[in-house]
């Protein structure tokens, strides 16, 4: 059957009344342009789009009744429906535009035209009829009746640069993998956004894991162990709690911080022909690194992140900006992605320490092995755990003093998930809990 017959076909009266009456009430009092604009919105947003190939397995035009009944429709079906609505509701003449692989509808609008007062042709207001194809309307109907709504584009210009910089740092890292714990961030932003502190913790944890340079202890795993020890994994870390967490969890360093600011705003414009909006999220983050062996804060800094998400459309069509949880995650990734360069520079293999887990005669078992990056033949220096130094004025721990050297060990094998076996090269008096450090390879 020819496509023209679908455009010219009448619609069964009950179906026509059921659809036309409520629409007629809605557009009552509207100008022609406003009514057409509403119908341009109604047709593509009220019916699900699917190609004939996916729905029927072949090209299949549909009458208006079929478009309403079937679960989905494509551009030809929507063009037929739109043409019928415009004719019946507005009495306008329409034409079908048959493109290769696509069908759209164009119409004749009666417009009020006011000539420019300086034109020299007309010096008074005049109402006239003018037949024209509105390029913007045609563009919108062609676009929307094809089911091709404008795509939402996320703009995150700095992130690729940051990722490349992190990858560069990853290649430069050498030595045993540090055991890192990311403690829950605190939410100190004036505008409280639910879950933003947990999002920051999870994002930073993932970024550290993706470098491949660290053994990252998950927040859930830390909480499980610390609850058994009646400790809390919060952002309020001091020298004493850091050292205690390091001892309990076997960590080399702790990363933590706080959200200091968060804001969302909308930029853009909205005209009859075109709409464009950009949602912007901005976040401020404090972060710091604490050495769990000494309890000393190694590094502290602040970073800002921004994420922009643009939406737009023609004649009211297209994507609409609404509350989007990806905004805060995007801003956090930007801020923490930039922070990773500074963090990587501070988390060098020099910070790595392990502990003696067991001593049996001349054989010593270490709580780090192949997973950590130790190799057979590596030499480890053994130190006793130094005394904790307490500030006499505040009573707060200042960290631990360097311990006395006990001797050296040599890795001879591995055991378990991440353990190593060592033999004594020199020294004596090795005890469970003594520190081991890698001696230059």
User: Are β-strands 363-366 and 419-427 bridged in parallel, bridged antiparallel, or unpaired?
Assistant: antiparallel
**Lowest model confidence (mean pLDDT) among 116-120, 267-271, 272-276, 341-345:** 116-120
Residue 109 has pLDDT above 50, yes or no: yes
Grouping H, G, I as helix, E, B as strand and the rest as coil, residue 231 is coil
Residue ranges of domains in the chain, CATH in brackets: 3-145 (3.10.620), 153-350 (3.40.50.10610), 353-438 (2.40.10.410)
Total Cβ atoms within 10 A of residue 173: 17
Taking alpha carbons only, the member of 303, 316, 326, 220 closest to residue 257 is 303
Token pair 């963090």 in the structure block, residue: 343
How far lies 115's CA from each of 108, 125, 428, in Å?
Answer: 20, 7, 102
Given a cut of 60, whether residue 131 has pLDDT beyond it is no
Q: Is the pLDDT of residue 135 over 50?
A: no
Per DSSP, 202 falls in state H
Q: What values do phi and psi take at 90, rounded to 5?
A: -115, -10
Q: How confident is the model at residue 158 (pLDDT cuts 50, 70, 90)?
A: very low
Residue 270 scores a pLDDT above 60: no
Residue with the larger pLDDT of the pair 152 and 99? 99
Which of 32-46, 56-70, 318-332, 412-426 is most confident? 412-426
pLDDT of residue 59: 85
pLDDT of residue 421: 96
- Of how many residues is the chain composed? 441
Instruction: Determine the Cα–Cα distance for residues 111 and 325; give it in Å rounded to an integer.
Output: 43
Whole-angstrom Cα distance, residue 123 to residue 265?
45
In the Cβ-directed half-sphere of 9, how many Cα atoms lie within 13 Å? 19
**Rounded to an integer, what distance in angstroms lies between the CA atom of residue 418 and that of residue 413?**
11
State mean pLDDT over 265-284.
Answer: 71
The pLDDT value recorded for residue 364 is 95
Residue pair 118/93 in contact (Cβ under 8 Å)? The answer is no
User: Has residue 431 got a pLDDT over 90?
Assistant: yes
Task: Work out the mean pLDDT of the chain and round it to a whole number.
Answer: 75
What is the pLDDT, as a whole number, of residue 430? 94
Q: What confidence tier does 120 reach under pLDDT thresholds 50, 70, 90?
A: very low
**What pLDDT was estimated at residue 332?**
93
- Please provide the DSSP assignment of 350-394 as one string: GG--EEEEEEETTEEEES--TTTT--TT-EEEEEPPPPEEE-TTT
Q: What are phi and psi of 401, to 5 degrees?
A: -75, 150
Which pair of tokens denotes residue 410? 């040599």
pLDDT interval class at 350 (50, 70, 90): confident
**Does residue 238 surpass a pLDDT of 70?**
no
SS (H, E, C) 76-98: HHHHHHHHHHHHHHHCCCEEEEE
13: burial class by Cβ within 10 Å (0-12, 13-18, 19+)? exposed
3-class DSSP state of 435: strand
Nearest to 208 by CA among 117, 396, 40, 337: 337
- Candidates 218, 203, 217; CA nearest to 166 is 203
Q: Which of 67-76, 171-180, 327-336, 410-419 has the lowest mean pLDDT?
A: 171-180
Q: ∠ CA(223), CA(226), CA(231), 5° rounding?
A: 115
At residue 212, the 3 state secondary structure works out as coil
Whole-angstrom distance between the N-terminal and C-terminal Cα of the chain? 81
Residue 179 CB: number of other CB atoms within 10 A?
A: 24
Residues of the chain with pLDDT > 70, as a percent, come to 70
Question: What is the reported pLDDT for 306?
Answer: 93
Where residue 225 falls among pLDDT bands split at 50, 70, 90?
low
Smallest CA-to-CA distance from 183 within 122, 112, 125, 231 is with: 231
Question: Above 50 in pLDDT, residue 143?
Answer: no
Residue 271 scores a pLDDT above 70: no
CA 177 – CA 370 distance, rounded (Å): 10
Is the per-residue pLDDT at 118 higher than 70? no
Q: Which tens digit of pLDDT belongs to each residue from 389-413? A: 888 887 767 777 888 899 999 999 9
pLDDT in tens, 299-339: 889 999 999 887 655 444 444 444 566 788 999 999 998 88
């Amino acid at each position: 059957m020819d496509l023209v017959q679908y455009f010219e076909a009448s619609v069964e009266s009950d179906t026509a009344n059921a659809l036309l009456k409520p629409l007629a009430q809605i557009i009552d009092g509207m100008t022609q342009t406003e009514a057409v604009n509403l119908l341009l919105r109604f047709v593509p947003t009220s019916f699900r789009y699917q190609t004939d190939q996916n729905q029927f397995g072949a090209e299949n035009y549909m009458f208006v009744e079929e478009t309403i009944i079937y679960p989905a429709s494509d551009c030809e079906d929507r063009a037929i429906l739109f043409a019928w609505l415009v004719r019946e509701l507005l009495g306008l003449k329409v034409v079908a535009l048959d493109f290769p692989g696509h069908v759209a509808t164009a119409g004749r609008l009666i417009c009020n035209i006011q000539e420019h007062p300086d034109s020299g042709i007309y010096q008074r207001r005049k109402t006239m009829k003018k037949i024209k194809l509105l390029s913007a309307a045609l563009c919108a109907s062609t676009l929307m009746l094809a089911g091709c709504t404008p795509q939402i584009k996320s703009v995150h210009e700095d992130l690729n640069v940051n990722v490349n910089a992190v990858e560069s740092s990853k290649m430069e890292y050498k030595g045993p993998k540090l055991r890192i714990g990311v403690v829950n961030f605190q939410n100190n932003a004036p505008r409280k956004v639910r879950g933003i502190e947990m999002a920051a913790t999870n994002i930073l944890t993932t970024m550290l894991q993706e470098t491949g340079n660290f053994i990252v202890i998950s927040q859930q795993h830390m909480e499980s162990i610390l609850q058994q020890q009646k400790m809390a994994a919060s952002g309020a870390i001091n020298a004493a709690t850091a050292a205690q967490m390091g001892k309990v969890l076997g960590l080399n360093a702790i990363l933590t911080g706080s959200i200091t600011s968060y804001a969302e705003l909308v930029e853009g414009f909205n005209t009859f022909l075109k709409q464009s909006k950009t949602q912007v999220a901005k976040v401020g983050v404090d972060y710091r690194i604490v050495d769990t062996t000494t309890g000393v804060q190694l590094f502290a800094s602040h970073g800002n992140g921004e994420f922009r998400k643009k939406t737009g459309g023609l004649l009211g069509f297209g994507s609409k900006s609404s509350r989007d949880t990806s905004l805060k995650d995007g801003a956090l990734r930007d801020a923490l992605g930039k922070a990773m360069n500074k963090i990587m520079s501070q988390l060098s293999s020099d910070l790595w320490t392990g502990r003696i887990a067991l001593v049996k005669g001349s054989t010593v078992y270490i709580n780090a092995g192949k997973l950590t990056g130790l190799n057979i033949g590596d030499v480890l220096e053994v130190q006793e755990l130094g005394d904790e130094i307490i500030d006499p004025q505040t009573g707060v721990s200042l960290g631990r003093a360097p311990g006395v050297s006990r001797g050296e060990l040599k890795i001879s094998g591995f055991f378990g998930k991440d353990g190593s076996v060592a033999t004594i090269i020199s020294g004596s008096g090795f005890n469970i809990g003594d520190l081991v450090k890698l001696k230059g390879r």
